[in-house]
Structure 1
Amino acid sequence: MFGDLFPSRTITLYLARLFISRIVGVLFLLVLVLQMLQLLSESGDILAVPGNGEAELWYYVSLNVPQLIARFLPYSVLLATLFTFWPLNQNSEVIAMRAAGLSAHQILAPMLLTAAAISLISFTFNETVVAPRTGVLKQWNKARYKPLPKDTGVRTNVYVPDGPNILTAQTVSGQGAATRLEGVTWYRRDAAGMVVEQLRSPHASYAAPGWRLDNPVRFDVATTAQTSQPSQIIAPGVSPVQLALGRVDPEGQNVFSLAGSIKAMKASGRRTSELEAKWWHKFAGPLSALLMPLLGSVAAFGLARSGTLLIRAVLGMALGFTYFVVDNAVLAMGNFGGYPPLIAAWAPFLLFLLVGETVLVKTEE
Structure 2
Amino acid sequence: MTAAAAMPRHRRRLSWTLSGYIARQYMLWFIVFLLAISGIVLLAGTADRMDRMANRDGVTFGIVLSVAVFRLPSLIQETMPFVVLGAAMFTFWRLTRTNELVVTRAAGVSAWQFLLPAVALSVLVGILTMTILNPVGATLLSRADQIEESYDPTPGPSLALRGGGLWLRQDQGADRLMLHASRADEETMTLYEVIVFRYQDEEFLNRMDASSATLEPGYWAMRDVWLSQAGTPTIFEREVRIPTNLTSRKILESFAPAETLSFWDLPEFIRLLQEAGFSTQQHRLEFNKLLALPLLFTAMVVLAATFSLRPQRRGRVGLIILAGVICGFVLYFMSSLVFALGISGKLPVAMAAWTPATIALALSLPLLLHLEDG
Query: Do they superpose with TM above 0.5?
Result: yes
**Structure-to-structure mapping, 1:208-223, within 5 angstroms:** 212=225, 214=227
The residue aligned with 1:79 is 86
The residue aligned with 1:16 is 23
The residue aligned with 1:118 is 125
AA of the residue aligned to 2:142:
G
Name the SS of the counterpart of 2:345 in structure 1: coil
| Greater CA drift, 154-163 or 285-294 | 154-163
Q: 2:37 aligns with which of 30, 53, 63?
A: 30
CA drift of 1:271 comes to 2.6
CA drift of 1:104 comes to 0.9
CA drift of 1:318 comes to 2.9
Partners of 1:97 and 1:325 lie apart in 2 by: 36
The residue aligned with 2:237 is 231
**Structure-to-structure mapping, 1:38-49, within 5 angstroms:** 38-43=45-50, 46=53, 49=56
Name the SS of the counterpart of 2:169 in structure 1: strand
* Residues 208 and 225 in structure 2, CA contact (< 8 A), matched pair in contact too: no
The residue aligned with 1:226 is none
Partners of 1:109 and 1:121 lie apart in 2 by: 18
Name the SS of the counterpart of 1:231 in structure 2: strand
The residue aligned with 2:75 is 68
Q: CA RMSD in A?
A: 4.0
CA drift of 1:301 comes to 2.7
* Residues 131 and 253 in structure 1, CA contact (< 8 A), matched pair in contact too: yes
CA drift of 1:12 comes to 1.0
Deviations 1:103-148 (A, max 9, x none): 01012111111111111221123332011112222343344468x9
C-alpha change, 1:95 and 1:288, in structure 2 (3 Å) is same
Aligned: 1:361 with 2:369: yes
Q: 2:140 aligns with which of 133, 136, 141?
A: 133
The residue aligned with 2:357 is 349
C-alpha change, 1:42 and 1:266, in structure 2 (3 Å) is closer
Aligned: 1:294 with 2:302: yes
CA drift of 1:316 comes to 2.4
* Residues 291 and 352 in structure 1, CA contact (< 8 A), matched pair in contact too: yes
CA drift of 1:46 comes to 4.8
**Structure-to-structure mapping, 1:128-277, within 5 angstroms:** 128-144=135-151, 155-157=168-170, 161=185, 164=188, 166=190, 186=214, 212=225, 214=227, 231-232=237-238, 247-277=255-285
Partners of 1:92 and 1:321 lie apart in 2 by: 29
| Greater CA drift, 334-343 or 310-319 | 310-319
The residue aligned with 1:218 is none
Partners of 1:307 and 1:297 lie apart in 2 by: 16
CA drift of 1:299 comes to 2.8
CA drift of 1:335 comes to 0.6
The residue aligned with 1:207 is none
CA drift of 1:212 comes to 1.6
Partners of 1:244 and 1:82 lie apart in 2 by: 42
* Residues 19 and 111 in structure 1, CA contact (< 8 A), matched pair in contact too: yes
CA drift of 1:337 comes to 0.8
Partners of 1:324 and 1:172 lie apart in 2 by: 45
Aligned: 1:314 with 2:325: no
* Residues 299 and 360 in structure 2, CA contact (< 8 A), matched pair in contact too: yes
Unmatched tracts of structure 2, length 5 or more: 1-10, 161-166, 171-178, 199-205, 229-234, 242-250
Partners of 2:26 and 2:328 lie apart in 1 by: 17
Partners of 2:371 and 2:314 lie apart in 1 by: 15
Unmatched tracts of structure 1, length 5 or more: 189-194, 205-209, 216-228, 236-242
Partners of 1:141 and 1:8 lie apart in 2 by: 53
Deviations 1:136-175 (A, max 9, x none): 22343344468x9xx997633589548757569xx9669x
The residue aligned with 1:340 is 348
* Residues 298 and 315 in structure 1, CA contact (< 8 A), matched pair in contact too: no
CA drift of 1:312 comes to 2.7
C-alpha change, 1:71 and 1:48, in structure 2 (3 Å) is same
CA drift of 1:264 comes to 1.9
C-alpha change, 1:244 and 1:353, in structure 2 (3 Å) is closer
Name the SS of the counterpart of 2:225 in structure 1: strand
C-alpha change, 1:10 and 1:180, in structure 2 (3 Å) is farther
Partners of 2:325 and 2:127 lie apart in 1 by: 23
AA of the residue aligned to 1:29:
A
Percent identity between matched residues is 19
Partners of 1:5 and 1:234 lie apart in 2 by: 81
C-alpha change, 1:75 and 1:145, in structure 2 (3 Å) is farther
Partners of 1:28 and 1:102 lie apart in 2 by: 32
Of Structure 1 and Structure 2, the greater strand share is in 2
* Residues 197 and 208 in structure 2, CA contact (< 8 A), matched pair in contact too: yes
CA drift of 1:294 comes to 0.5
C-alpha change, 1:137 and 1:232, in structure 2 (3 Å) is same
Partners of 1:268 and 1:70 lie apart in 2 by: 30
* Residues 185 and 277 in structure 2, CA contact (< 8 A), matched pair in contact too: no
